[in-house]
Amino acid sequence: MIPATARAGFASWPGRAEAWLDERGRPAWIAAMVAGFIAFWPVGLALLAYMIWSKRMFSRSCSARRSMSRSMAWNSSGNAAFDAYKADTLRRLEEEQIAFESFLQRLREAKDKQEFDAFMQERARKAGTPAGDVEA
């Protein structure tokens, strides 16, 4: 399984902030909420609503829940065949996740190229030059 710190590189800054706060537990979430109220009250209110909606406020510590699920995934069941199957399945899922993320990256790059090419054609049309004469 990919650790939280490795997954953080793929996420946007809110995802990285959430992972960072989750690693530090409920006190970090409360401190962020209080700081949000002090800085700009709607931010604190939004954090409070998110904490209640995601059940971070009333459940066990986020880091304890994450570490418990991680340790349960790697604990031995006592059955060697099942443990081998589980390890193979987890490895395969990690490979599929990496392949899917690279596919999404290629898809984004293709879309960006298509949008850029359309922009260059429109720019060339407005300038009155044929699209093939514009240098890339």
Instruction: Please write the tens of the pLDDT for every residue from 64-87.
Output: 555 555 556 667 778 889 989 999
Q: What is the DSSP string of 39-88?
A: H-HHHHHHHHHHHHHTTTTTSS-HHHHHHHHHHHHHS--S-HHHHHHHHH
> Of 9 and 118, which is predicted with more confidence?
118
Residues 87-122 pLDDT 10s: 999 999 999 999 999 999 999 999 999 999 999 999
Task: Supply the DSSP symbol for 134.
Answer: S
Tell which wins on pLDDT, 136 or 46: 46
5-12 long-range contacts (CB < 8 A, ≥24 apart) are 10/101
pTM greater than the 0.85 cutoff? no
User: What is the DSSP secondary structure assignment for residue 108, as one 8-state letter?
Assistant: H
